[in-house]
Amino acid sequence: MDIRSHEFQPRAVAALHDTSLQQAMDKARDGFVAKRAVQVAELSEFEALREAAKTLKDHVLDHLDHYLERYEAAVVAAGGQVHWARDDAEARRIILDICKRVDARTVTKGKSMVSEEIGLNTALIDAGLTVVETDLGEYIIQLAGEAPSHIIAPAVHKTREQVSDLFEKAHGGPRLTEIADLVDAARLALRERYFQADVGITGGNFLIAETGSSLIVTNEGNGDLTQTLARVHIVTAGIERVVPTLDDATLFLRLLARSATGQETETYTTISTGPKPADDLDGPEEYHVVLVDNGRSRMLAGPFREMLRCIRCGACMNHCPVYGAIGGHAYGWVYPGPMGSVLTPLIKGLDAAYDLPNACTLNGRCASVCPVKIPLPDLLRRLRHEQFKQSITPRRKRYALGAWRLLATRPKLYHALERLAARALAAIGGHAGRIRRLPGARGWTEARDLPAPQGRTFLERWQTERGQS
């Protein structure tokens, strides 16, 4: 997937004016947030689980080499193979070599954000393979020729009417409008593909070091069919996905579904260990794991290692007002929302994704809901500092920050100008209390009104309440 994060601003503006997108995002936002809140309220130990998960993840990252080696040894002992990919190009080459060796023609895929990260689908198609996404959301956007807009709900930006149009064009027959009918149509279209597949590719929510197993969670069962009916099963996962034991994985499972979709647990939790034994009827004949670095070792050794705690639940974007307003495609790469605003610059470069760390209000909601307590606002602020230090920040903005620093270090001047601005904006807002157009604030007022201050600054009101001058 080509990175288009440099187009963030025009894409965000287009998203704000996309009526269908706004309709879809409104429905999704309320559902994710409300369902999570119910689950959290019903689990009294939720905060204790978050702290335990954070501690465990930090322990794994401190000893990542040990657990990866232990995992590799267990996979090999179970009859599988582990392949190490330093970057996206090497990961693609490894997977293409496996497909070529087994004379694969059709590849089925369960949802895997790492496969999106390494641009796998394009490489497979360019090599002449038929690629079929089996996750319902991924299948929908494959029909639309689009990238995922959310890491757990890839087609969250689509309305039911848009999905109906896609299915009518792809499947023919009468137009379907009911969700149950659309799901049934997808099942019928995909069922024969599972049996035609030579290779099944899945992600790995967790990799178990003690057993060499890969663990995936789904709500549709497509992952099970993808990895058991094909002759060859390939797991794609980042190196940070390893956990020491199955018991440790259950800790994260208690947090994952509640944080992601507001469910107590996923519908299917599937553990795979190696190829099938010779006397088994079902299962793959070969089992491969492609462990992808792609910048993760660099993160591990630097100030952004906390980002490697991420379990890809999507809670940060579900609660992000920016993502909720513009959706995922505006971010221009695989990972949207707060987590993407950290990961994309770190993987693809600070200059290639300049706008993403700056497209954040630093309100802190993402950090407050993250199941492994990643301090996302702190990391985004650090990325801004790095951009400024490397002179990536545009010159005009650097001058503006310099002027602000000049004022902020002179409190009397700062407060005098602050009082003047508050009164001027209150006058412009008038009785309506809002400003429709303001020089220098076009990016805000093009899409919404700017609330006008009441005429006095917060400090003035605070001092009046306390009887201070």
pLDDT of residue 383: 97
Nearest to 151 by CA among 331, 278, 274: 331
The pLDDT value given to residue 365: 96
Collapsing DSSP states into helix, strand and coil, what is residue 63? coil
Supply the pLDDT for residue 469: 61
Who contacts 4 (Cβ-Cβ below 8 Å, separation ≥6)? Answer: 11, 332, 333
Enumerate residues 6+ apart whose C-beta is below 8 A from 440: none
> What's the pLDDT at 431?
86
How many Å is the Cα radius of gyration of the chain? 25
Mean pLDDT to the nearest integer, 304-326: 96
- Per-residue pLDDT tens digits for 412-467: 999 999 999 999 999 998 888 898 888 877 777 877 888 988 888 998 989 888 88
Closest C-alpha among 332, 334, 341, 331 to residue 304: 341
- pLDDT tens-place string over residues 143-157: 999 999 999 999 999
In this structure, of 1-5, 93-97, 268-272, 379-383, the range with the lowest mean pLDDT score is 1-5
pLDDT the model gives residue 1: 67
Q: What share of the chain is helix, strand, coil (3-state, %, to 5)?
A: 55, 10, 35
Q: Which pLDDT band, with edges at 50, 70 and 90, does 185 fall under?
A: very high
Dig out the tokens for 27 from the structure: 């429905």
Residue type, 220: E
- DSSP letter for 370, please: -
pLDDT tens for 15-58 read 999 999 999 998 887 789 999 999 999 999 999 999 999 999 99
What integer pLDDT is reported at residue 46 of this predicted model? 97
CB 203 within 8 A of CB 110: yes
- Residue 309 in this model has a pLDDT that exceeds 80: yes
Domains delineated in the chain: 5-297 (3.40.50.10420), 411-468 (no CATH)
Task: Report percent pLDDT > 90 for the chain.
Answer: 85
Could you read off the pLDDT of 104-157 as tens digits, one per residue? Answer: 999 999 999 999 999 999 999 999 999 999 999 999 999 999 999 999 999 999
Query: Could you read off the pLDDT of 66-75 as tens digits, one per residue?
Result: 999 999 999 9
How far are the Cα atoms of 111, 136, 347 from residue 157, in angstroms, in the given order?
17, 14, 25
Q: Give the pLDDT mean for 176-198.
A: 94
Whole-number mean pLDDT of the chain? 94
What's the pTM value of the predicted model, to 2 decimals?
Answer: 0.91
